[in-house]
Amino acid sequence: MGSKLRILLASLAFALVSKPVQAHGGGRDKLGCHHDRKAGGYHCHKGPLDGRLFKSKEDALEALGTSQESPPPPKQKILPGYYTMETDEKTKVRRVVDGDTLVLEDGRKVRLIGVDTPELHHPKKPVQYYAKEAKDFVEALVEGKAVNLALDPDNTYVKHKDKYGRLLAYVLLPDGDILNAKIIREGYGFAYTRFPYKLMDNFRALEKEARENKRGLWK
């Protein structure tokens, strides 16, 4: 091959590599893609679909395995070691009796499983230290608000009710936290250990943490 031909081929190759990419019409959406109004199709330049070309946005969403209309639910904000809780019932709290007892909109009483707060209305005991603070704390979180209830598979009580007929349950807050755990973690109650429940070890660890950090009633 002559030297002139080699130079010509090299120049052609350089021109092909260095040719600027023509700008597409349309700005990128939150997926990092856009509809090409000139050439057609749906082009992706950023994000998980970077560099891919689709016939339509629907094809891109299918490839991504998601849908803008049905985003994945947020993860629960719970501590490592908690099992995944399934919501058994969605309801609303009418009022708070004390730090560990609620009344639902249908009149049922819920005893928060795994937590014991200072006595506020005991017939044989005076109002205990931090009882009012515990009630106020819980009121601010759930009174008049919608919550989810979750039952404990390790609870041995018949129909998940205590001897007073109160439903033993976890209360899941809108942000994914568990009210029972939050009360203990912030120092408004103790881990209850007189009967088995799934999160006993977790709640005991939360009580220890609150005590060591002098939160709430541990001050």
List C-alpha distances in Å: 148 to 75, 105, 106, 120.
15, 13, 14, 25
Is the pTM for the entire model greater than 0.85? no
Quick one: which of 211, 165, 198 has its CA closest to 78?
Answer: 198
Q: Are 167 and 109 in contact (CB under 8 A)?
A: yes
Model confidence band, residue 86 (pLDDT cutoffs 50, 70, 90)? low
pLDDT of res. 24: 52
Residue ranges of domains in the chain: 28-67, 89-218
Known catalytic residues are: 111, 119, 166
Q: Are 31 and 64 in contact (CB under 8 A)?
A: yes
pLDDT of res. 79: 46
Domain covering 89-218, topology: OB fold (Dihydrolipoamide Acetyltransferase, E2P) (2.40.50)
pLDDT of res. 212: 96
The residue that leads in pLDDT, 74 or 130, is 130
- Which amino acid appears at position 199 of this protein? L
The pLDDT of residue 50 is above 80: no
The residue that leads in pLDDT, 115 or 15, is 115
Interval 34-59 mean pLDDT: 79
Q: What is the mean pLDDT of the chain?
A: 80
Q: Cα–chain-centroid distance for residue 129?
A: 33
pLDDT of res. 204: 95
pLDDT for 144-203, tens place per residue?
A: 999 999 998 888 788 899 999 999 999 999 888 899 999 999 999 999 999 889 899 999
Model confidence band, residue 133 (pLDDT cutoffs 50, 70, 90)? very high
